[in-house]
Structure 1
């Protein structure tokens, strides 16, 4: 299964936009989506920016990888994601977006806790050495 940053790269590919232009448009750094940086978390502002700029993207898919890439309300979605009709227009922030952002926050909180534990372990190891 892909992580969220790999799914963001799939959006750029699906849109047929160069990755440089795609990330510039979102005001994100492409460097954060390459190499080891691709394995790090994506902040909620970036998720909100992507979903605002591309309202046809399904928030649950972006955050969790579950379901189709494209929203199905008013769109035609195929498994190969090669064809779709007009994107769904988002009128203000939808509950789905809010739920997706809550999932991002919960995931980031777990990451923070794990990193805090790792810091404590490393501090103890340093003391021992």
Structure 2
């Protein structure tokens, strides 16, 4: 269930994919996986890895958050794919990623909604 959290406080996972509530408090829910899915989607859109050198020492999500907040979607999309895909679909993918990466897990999409 989304509202049930594990009491295990050991944090295990790959840096860059960890949801804030898991990284900070060890709280796990299905929304933790939704966050990780948002990171993967962001990687596909941007063409960047979670710790890419182009990010200037920031995480991929940390780099993307200001652009998402400003709705600067074109700056997020990998220039290698912009001409070969429908721009409206790419912007839709960015919005889905943004909703998966919401800091508050209660406000994140569910995977049922994503699919």
* Same fold, judged at TM 0.5 (above): no
Higher helix share: 1
TM-score (normalizing by structure 1): 0.27
TM-score (normalizing by structure 2): 0.28
Which structure is richer in relative contact order (CA contacts within 8 A, separation 6 or more)?
2
